[in-house]
Amino acid sequence: MKFEKVDAVRGKIAKVWCNANKKCALRRRTSGIRFVPRFPKAQLEEKKVASTFKEACDLWLQTKGRLEDATLSQYSNALIFWQQKLGTDVPVQNVTHGKVAAVVGSHPWPSAKLCNNYLIPLRGVFKLACRDIQGLDKPLDDIENASHQKVAPDPLTVSEMYSIIDRIKKKINMLAIILNSLF
């Protein structure tokens, strides 16, 4: 029996075991080993993964326990809105980019800022779901925030502008009179 190190696929170190018949079996160290076929008596714990959209929303809210109560309330309200629009019992895998984009585009948002604020928790839900479920597409990838800016203050009307200019002229004239009297 002989053990030697060789360079395997993707630069990982593998061990090659050679027996008397010179038959070699290459075993790579990977994290994706399936234990059940090799060890039939092994019991694997199944990881709790949210299967419905409501479960995914609830799971994400549980991860945000350190936020302020007001923020959690706003996130909860936003997720309730999304659950009403997309469905609570819908599997997470069935929420697609098209469905989310249709809701964002068709809903009469009072402001762009509200739309952006409602997208924040939805992005968080799918970010967490994509980590738990392999191969899940991210339905919010190309949904951009709506642009919003504060409304500029109303400028002065023409009559207000002339009244201000007249006041300035009067102040300047009075100042000139005072200065002339001193010198």
Q: Choose among 105, 64, 93, 58: nearest CA to 79.
A: 58
Query: For residue 106, what are the domain limits?
Result: 53-132
Does the residue 145 lie in any domain? no
Does the residue 173 lie in any domain? no
- How much is the pLDDT for 156? 81
- How much is the pLDDT for 177? 82
* 106/61 same-domain check: yes
* 68/120 same-domain check: yes
* 128/60 same-domain check: yes
Q: What is the pLDDT along the chain (183 residues), one digit of tens a residue?
A: 444 444 444 333 333 333 333 333 333 333 444 444 555 555 555 555 668 999 999 999 999 988 899 999 999 999 999 999 999 899 988 888 999 999 999 999 999 999 999 999 999 999 988 888 877 878 888 888 888 777 777 788 888 888 999 999 888 888 888 878 877
Does the residue 151 lie in any domain? no
Torsion angle, CA of 52/88/136/65, rounded to 10 degrees?
A: -80
Does the residue 158 lie in any domain? no
- How much is the pLDDT for 63? 92
Give the CA count within 13 Å in the CB-facing half-sphere of 10. Answer: 3
Does the residue 126 lie in any domain? yes
Q: What does the angle CA 136 – CA 137 – CA 143 come to, to the nearest 5 degrees?
A: 145
Does the residue 118 lie in any domain? yes
* 59/90 same-domain check: yes
- How much is the pLDDT for 171? 87
* 74/13 same-domain check: no
Structural domain count, the chain: 2
- How much is the pLDDT for 135? 77
* 78/11 same-domain check: no
| Global model pTM greater than 0.85 | no
* 60/122 same-domain check: yes
**First CA to last CA distance, the chain:** 115
132, 157, 174 - which closes a domain: 132
- How much is the pLDDT for 30? 39
- How much is the pLDDT for 5? 43
* 125/61 same-domain check: yes
- How much is the pLDDT for 35? 47
Does the residue 183 lie in any domain? no
